[in-house]
Amino acid sequence: MSTDLQYREDGELRHFLTVEGLKRDTLTRILDTAETFISFGEREIKKVPLLRGKTVVNLFFESSTRTRTTFEIAAKRLSADVINLNPNRLATSKGETVLDTVRNLEAMHTDLFVVRDAHSGAAYLIAQHVPPHVSIINAGDGRHAHPTQAMLDMFTIRQHRQDFENLKVAIVGDILHSRVARSQIHALNILGVPEVRVVAPRTLLPTEVERLGVQPFSDMRRGLENVDVVIMLRLQLERMQGSLISSQQEYFNLYGLTPDKLAYASPRVMVMHPGPINRGLEIASEVADGPHSLILSQVTNGIAVRMSIMALLMGGQAARRED
Amino acid sequence: MSTDLQYREDGELRHFLTVEGLKRDTLTRILDTAETFISFGEREIKKVPLLRGKTVVNLFFESSTRTRTTFEIAAKRLSADVINLNPNRLATSKGETVLDTVRNLEAMHTDLFVVRDAHSGAAYLIAQHVPPHVSIINAGDGRHAHPTQAMLDMFTIRQHRQDFENLKVAIVGDILHSRVARSQIHALNILGVPEVRVVAPRTLLPTEVERLGVQPFSDMRRGLENVDVVIMLRLQLERMQGSLISSQQEYFNLYGLTPDKLAYASPRVMVMHPGPINRGLEIASEVADGPHSLILSQVTNGIAVRMSIMALLMGGQAARRED
Amino acid sequence: MSTDLQYREDGELRHFLTVEGLKRDTLTRILDTAETFISFGEREIKKVPLLRGKTVVNLFFESSTRTRTTFEIAAKRLSADVINLNPNRLATSKGETVLDTVRNLEAMHTDLFVVRDAHSGAAYLIAQHVPPHVSIINAGDGRHAHPTQAMLDMFTIRQHRQDFENLKVAIVGDILHSRVARSQIHALNILGVPEVRVVAPRTLLPTEVERLGVQPFSDMRRGLENVDVVIMLRLQLERMQGSLISSQQEYFNLYGLTPDKLAYASPRVMVMHPGPINRGLEIASEVADGPHSLILSQVTNGIAVRMSIMALLMGGQAARRED
C-alpha cells in the first residue's frame, strides 16, 4: 500500500495508517510529543484543550472495547467530543456502503476518525476518500497493521533504553496472523534496531519472513539468547482449534514465556505484551507479573502515544481548512 | 393531535413534536437560528456554551444509531451533557411504564428529552406529563412525524432557493408509511410552497391524500415534470416481502430515481434523500453522487437545525423554572 | 468483610464499599455534602468543576442502565470524564482475570471505579488491589450491599424528619435476597434509628434476622403499625417462579402496599422504594403516586448523594498521589 497518503505536501502527518514507509523523524516526533503527555496521567487535572471543539468518531467495525477505550480516554484528555460507533458491517453493506457511512459522519463535521476493521486496508480506503481537513487513524485492520500499538511499544522501549541502536529484540508468537508484529517490525527497522528476531513454529511464520528484515527462530531458547526486549504476542484462542498448533499445553511448553526460558535473555530484559494476556498460554503469570514485565506501562504509554498522534494530526488542521 | 402543547403561553416554543399546526414564523425562526450555527462546523472550535450544564437524554425506544448520533453531536456542540438510552419497550412494560421511566429521568433533572419510538404519539404522550421546565423533541414516532428531518430539508431548500413561494416539490416513494413525508408536507404547506406533489404507486399512497394539500402522481416522469426539488424517501426493505410491491427490480424501474427520469425535472433541480440511501433500489448511484444531489448537505444541515431547535427550546428555560 | 479498607490512615474515606462498619460521622458528612449539591439540579448551570480532569469508569459486570445512568450523571455534573464499560464476565475469565481488567484501566489513570457485579465481594476484591490514589464505589455486589442506595434513602428520610432518633422504620419485601435491605439496616442502625422492622413472609427472611438489629414481622398490618417510614423492596419477578412465593396475587394481597395497609402507619408516613417499581405487585399505583410517596425524590437525591460520595473520595486524592 502506498504510504504517501500519510503525509501532506508540507511534510506534516495527515493520516496514521501504517508504520511502513514513515520517516524515522516522524516516529521520533511522535515519541517526543508523547513524552510531553506522559506526565498528564499523574497530574491533578489531566485535560489539555488541544482538541477542544473537535469531534472524534471511534468507528469500530470490528468491536474491541479495550482498544476503543484507550482512544476514547486519549481524545477526552485532549478535550475533544467523542462519538463511539460500532456499525454492523452487514448493515452497511445493505444498500449503504462503508464509504456512505463515513461520508455521512464527515458531513457532520467529524475531524478525526479512528477506524478498526477486520478487513485489511479499511482505514486506507477511507483515508483515500476524505477531504483534506479530515484525518484517519488506523486502530487495527485485518492482518495488516496496528500502528498505534507498535508506537506505544517503541515508546516503552525508549523509556528504558537510551537509544534503539544497540538492541536485540525478539517477537514471539503467531507472527503469520499478527498485525501487531507487522507494525512492530517496521517500527523497529525504521528506528534502527540492528537485530530483530521472530520466534514461532514454522507454521506461524510467513514464508520468506527474512525479507521483512528479521531473523526467524523456531527454538525459543535460542531465539531469546541475549535479547534486550521480548515482545510476546497474544495467541488467538480461536485459531487453536485448527491444525496450526497441536495443543495449548504443547504450545505453552515450546513457546510460552516462562522464567526458565527468560533466563536465556539479557539480565535486564524487558518483557512486553499488547494484552489482554492469556495467563498460562503464551505467558506464565510469574513472568507477566514479574520484575521484567512492562505490560502495564505499555497500557499507560498507550494513552500518551495516542494523544500524541491525535495532536500531531490535528495540529495543522486549522490552516488546512482554509486551503 | 393537538399542537397547542408545543407553545408556551408567551408564544415561545416549548416542545417540538410535529410540524403540523406550527406558525410560519416559528419555522422561519428555526431556519434563521440554524443559519447562525451552520458556520460552526467550519470553525476551528465548534462548541458554544448555550446548553452548558444542561442534561439532554436521547431516549430511543426504537434504536437508530444514525439519528441518535446527529442529536448527540448537536447537543455536545451546544456543550450539554448527553446521556444515550435505548430502553427496551418490553422491559418498561413489565411493571414500570414508559412514563415511569421518563419521570425517573426527569427526577435526575433532565432538561431535554429527544424521544424516538415505533409508536405514533409517544413523544406527545411524554410531553403531556413533564413539568414546565422540561422540553421534548420528537425524533420520529411510528408513522406519525419526524419533524426535525422535515426542518433540515426545508433548511437545505432555502439554502439554494431564495424563497419557498415559487417552488414545485415532488416527494417520491412510500408516502403511506412515511413519517418523514408527512412532516415534509406540513412544512412545505406552512412555508407557502404552492405545488407539492407525491409520487408513488397507488398502494403506497394514503386514501384521500389530496386532503393533505398535495397532488398525487403514479407516473414518475409526469410527477417530476419541471419540479425544482425531488425528495426521495427511503424504501423500507422489510416491506418488500409483502404484497405492496411486486419486486425490487420493478420498483426501481418505475420509481427509482435515474438520470433519465430526473431529466424531466427543472434543469436546476435539487435531489434530496433523508438517508441512509439504498443504492440501486430507490436511487441510482449516478444521481445520489451526482451534481444535483444535496444528500450530504442535508446531513450537515441536520446538525445545525437540531442545534437550533434545542437552543430555542432551552432559551427561555431559566425564567420558567422560577414560575 | 473488613471495613478498615474504607478508611485511610488519616481517617478520610478511601473507598465506599459497604455501610457496615462506617462511623456515624462519615454518614452524616456524606449527607451534609449531598445537601450542598441538592440545589444544583435546580440551578441554570448544573456543573461544578470538582472532578475536572478526573476519569471515572463505570465498570458494570452486571448490567443496570438505571443505576449506571445515575452515576454517569453525577460524575458529569462534577465535570469528570466518564467511561461506561459493561465487560462480559465470561470474557474476562478467559485468560485475563477481573483484576487484569481493572489493572489495565488503572494503568490508563482511572481515578475512580464504580463497580457493579452479580458476585458478593467484587468491589471489595478490587479495592484490595488498587494503588492509594484510586477509589472504588460499590454500586451493588450480589446479595451483599448497595450502599449508595442506602445513603440516598437516609438522605430522603432526613429531608423530611429533623433527626433519626425517634423514628420507626419498616422495610417490606424480600429481605433475604436484598442487598438494598442489608445496607439500609446498617445505615439506620448507625444513624441511631431506635426501631427498625422487617416485614416479609418467613421464607424471605434470613435466619436469626434479629441479630441484624431488626424486629421481624410476618403480618404486614402489624409491621406497619405507627411507623414513620415504609421502605418497599422491589420483588424480583424471576424469583416468583420458584416455591418461595405461591402467587403474585397472593403476594400482593399479603405484602403489597395498598392504601388500607398504609392506614396502619403514622399519618405522616413516608413511602419509599428503590425503583423500578412493579405496579400492582409490591405496591399499588395509588400509593406509588400518592401524597406519601417519596419515590421520585429518592431519584433526585440519588444524584446528589452520589456526587457527594464521589467528591469526598476524590477530595484528598491530590495530596495522596505525592505519598
Question: Which of A81, A106, A111, A129 is best to mutate for the B interface (most B CBs within 10 A)?
Answer: A81
On whether the CB atoms of residues B139 and B180 are closer than 8 A, the answer is no
ipTM of the predicted structure?
A: 0.88
Task: Compare B235 and A310 and report the one with higher pLDDT.
Answer: A310
CA C49 from chain centre, in angstroms, equals 25
Chains A and B form CB pairs within 8 A to the count of 68
Which residue of C39, C44, C301 is the best one to mutate when testing the B interface, meaning the one whose CB has the most B CBs within 10 A? C44
Write the pLDDT tens digit of every residue in B50-84: 999 999 999 999 988 889 999 999 999 999 999 99
Find chain B residues with C-beta within 8 A of C302's C-beta. 108
Whether B300 contacts chain A with CB within 8 A: yes
Q: Closest residue of B to A318, CA-based?
A: B44
Query: What is the number of other CB atoms lying within 10 angstroms of the CB of residue A83?
Result: 23
**Average confidence score pLDDT of chain B:** 90
Q: What pLDDT, in 10s, does the model give residues B173-200? A: 999 999 999 999 999 999 999 999 999 9
CA distance B16 to B30: 11
- What is the rounded CA–CA span in Å between residue A200 and residue A181? 12
The whole-angstrom separation of Cα C120 and Cα A161 is 44
The subunits that touch chain B, with at least 3 C-beta pairs less than 8 Å apart, are A, C
Whether residues B104 and C66 touch (CB distance < 8 A) is answered with: yes
pLDDT at B89: 64
- CA distance linking residue B44 with residue B40, whole number of Å: 8
Rg (CA), chain B: 20
Contact C108/A at CB under 8 A: yes
Cell numbers linked to C41: 439540579
A279 vs C: CB within 8 A:
yes
Looking up cell 452520589 gives C306
Task: Check CB contact of C319 with chain B, cutoff 8 Å.
Answer: no
For A188, list phi and psi in degrees, rounded to 5: -65, -40
CA distance C303 to C295: 14
Nearest CA in chain C to A298: C107
Q: Are C303 and C73 a contacting pair, CB within 8 Å?
A: yes
**Closest Cα in chain A to C319:** A44
The pLDDT of residue B323: 40
Is B108–C303 a contact, with Cβ atoms under 8 angstroms apart? yes
Least confident of A28-37, A229-238, C273-282: A229-238
pLDDT, residue A90, reads 54
Q: Does A47 reach chain C within 8 Å, measured CB to CB?
A: yes
From chain C, pick out residues whose CB is under 8 angstroms from the CB of B50.
none
* Cβ-defined contacts of C157-162 (< 8 Å, 24+): C157/C229, C157/C270, C157/C272, C158/C31, C159/C297, C159/C301, C160/C270, C160/C294, C161/C228, C161/C270
Q: How far is A206 from chain C (nearest CA, A)?
A: 27
* Mean pLDDT, residues A191-214 taken together: 95
Q: What dihedral do alpha carbons C99, C102, C107, C109 form, nearest 10°?
A: -150
On chain A, the residues whose CB falls within 8 A of the CB of B41 are: 108-109
Minimum mean pLDDT range among A172-186, A290-304, C15-29, C38-52? C38-52
Averaged pLDDT for residues B86-107: 76
Which of the 8 DSSP states describes residue B20? T
CA distance B78 to chain C (A): 13
Maximum Cα–Cα distance across chain B: 60
Q: How far apart are CA C73 and CA B155, in angstroms?
A: 34
Quick: pLDDT tens for C194-245: 999 999 999 899 999 999 999 999 999 999 999 999 999 998 766 655 556 6
Contacts of A64 in chain C (CB under 8 A): none
**Domains, chain A, ordered by start:** 4-145+300-321 (3.40.50.1370), 147-295 (3.40.50.1370)
Q: Please tell me the predicted confidence (pLDDT) of residue C236.
A: 78
The verdict on A237 touching C (C-beta cutoff 8 Å) is yes
**How many C-beta neighbours within 10 Å does residue A32 have?**
12
pLDDT digits (tens, 9 = 90+) for A141-156: 998 999 999 999 999 9
* Amino acid identity for residue A135 in this structure: S
Per-residue pLDDT tens digits for A49-65:
999 999 999 999 998 88
CB atoms within 10 A of CB A76: 22
> Is the CB of A297 less than 8 angstroms away from the CB of C107?
yes
Cβ-based contacts of B69 with chain A (< 8 Å): 83, 85, 105, 108
Quote the percentage of chain A above a pLDDT of 90. 76
**pLDDT average, residue stretch B150-168:** 95
Say which residue the cell 489493572 belongs to. C103
The three-state DSSP-derived secondary structure of chain A is CCCHHHECCCCCECCECCCCCCCHHHHHHHHHHHHHHHCHHHCCCCCCHHHCCCEEEEEECCCCHHHHHHHHHHHHHCCCEEEEECCCHHHHHCCCCHHHHHHHHHHCCCCEEEEEECCCCHHHHHHCCCCCCCEEEEEEECCCECHHHHHHHHHHHHHHCCCCCCCEEEEECCCCCCHHHHHHHHHHHHCCCCEEEEECCHHHCCCCHHHHCCEEECCHHHHHCCCCEEEECCCCHHHCCCCCCCCHHHHHHHHCECHHHHCCCCCCCEEECCCCCCECCCECHHHHCCCCECHHHHHHHHHHHHHHHHHHHHHCHHHHHCC
pLDDT, averaged across chain A: 90
Q: Is A46 an 8 Å CB contact of chain C?
A: yes
In chain A, the residue whose alpha carbon lies closest to the alpha carbon of C98 is A276
Residue A187 has pLDDT above 70, yes or no: yes
The one-letter amino acid at C291: P
- Counting as contact any 3 or more CB pairs under 8 A, the partners of A are B, C
Q: What is the pLDDT of residue C57?
A: 97
SS3 letters across chain C: CCCHHHECCCCCECCECCCCCCCHHHHHHHHHHHHHHHCHHHCCCCCCHHHCCCEEEEEECCCCHHHHHHHHHHHHHCCCEEEEECCCHHHHHCCCCHHHHHHHHHHCCCCEEEEEECCCCHHHHHHCCCCCCCEEEEEEECCCECHHHHHHHHHHHHHHCCCCCCCEEEEECCCCCCHHHHHHHHHHHHCCCCEEEEECCHHHCCCCHHHHCCEEECCHHHHHCCCCEEEECCCCHHHCCCCCCCCHHHHHHHHCECHHHHCCCCCCCEEECCCCCCECCCECHHHHCCCCECHHHHHHHHHHHHHHHHHHHHHCHHHHHCC
Are the CB atoms for A166 and A157 separated by under 8 Å? no
Chain C touched by A72 (CB under 8 Å): yes
